[in-house]
Chains A and B, each alone.
Chain A
Amino acid sequence: DQQVKQNSPSLSVQEGRISILNCDYTNSMFDYFLWYKKYPAEGPTFLISISSIKDKNEDGRFTVFLNKSAKHLSLHIVPSQPGDSAVYFCAASAGGTSYGKLTFGQGTILTVHP
């Protein structure tokens, strides 16, 4: 089941620079997308989301961009901080009669170097 894919297993960035995490999806029924951050031995922590009726959503240092025609979304973190080092998961859900089941990507390990 590869409906949501994060093709980069890892990303290394210098503190203060921009981190860009990418996610692709194949299911046209997905209409809501979320990014979660996960530290080892903890549960995923919700970061930011975007509905398919938008192409951008911003919350502080985090911005999510959605390109529906390309079935692609990205998470931008500016500026990156060492505390941002974690695994980032992209997730998607289909609305309508769905009760909100999330389909996750494989995750990208972000390392922010001081």
Chain B
Amino acid sequence: EPEVTQTPSHQVTQMGQEVILRCVPISNHLYFYWYRQILGQKVEFLVSFYNNEISEKSEIFDDQFSVERPDGSNFTLKIRSTKLEDSAMYFCASKRGGASGSTGTNEQFFGPGTRLTVL
């Protein structure tokens, strides 16, 4: 069964350093997402990406964050200058496409996550 994969599984970095988290979504999916979960808190939406551009982003997703789909398979999240509070599990998700909500479906399939630790 196709699945979303993420690398690395764990990333340790120093405050102020840049990190790139990588994801390979399910191949025929068209919508891509990043979420994060700070320890003990809810899973929070960061950004959605469709048709090679950001379609929606949360207030968490400030200028320090960027996303890219550099080729037909990878989807990356870059944090330019990491802060201590960026420490969290980061989950990539993808969805097939088509209408969402009451007229369609919105099943998103999640990767296993990357644990980011900022020291």
Contacts and interface: CB of A to CB of B under 8 A. Distances in A.
Given A93-B100, A99-B56, A101-B56, A44 B105 contact: no
Interface of A: 31-32, 34, 36, 41-46, 49, 51-53, 89, 91, 93-96, 98-107
Given A104-B42, A104-B43, 18 more contacts: A32-B100, A34-B106, A43-B6, A43-B110, A49-B105, A51-B105, A52-B102, A91-B43, A93-B100, A94-B101, A95-B101, A100-B106, A100-B108, A101-B33, A101-B45, A101-B48, A101-B58, A102-B93
Contacts of A53: 102
B65 interface: no
Interface size range of chain B in the complex? 20 to 34
Nearest to A53: B102
Given A89-B43, A99-B48, A102-B45, A46 B102 contact: no
B101 A103 contact: no
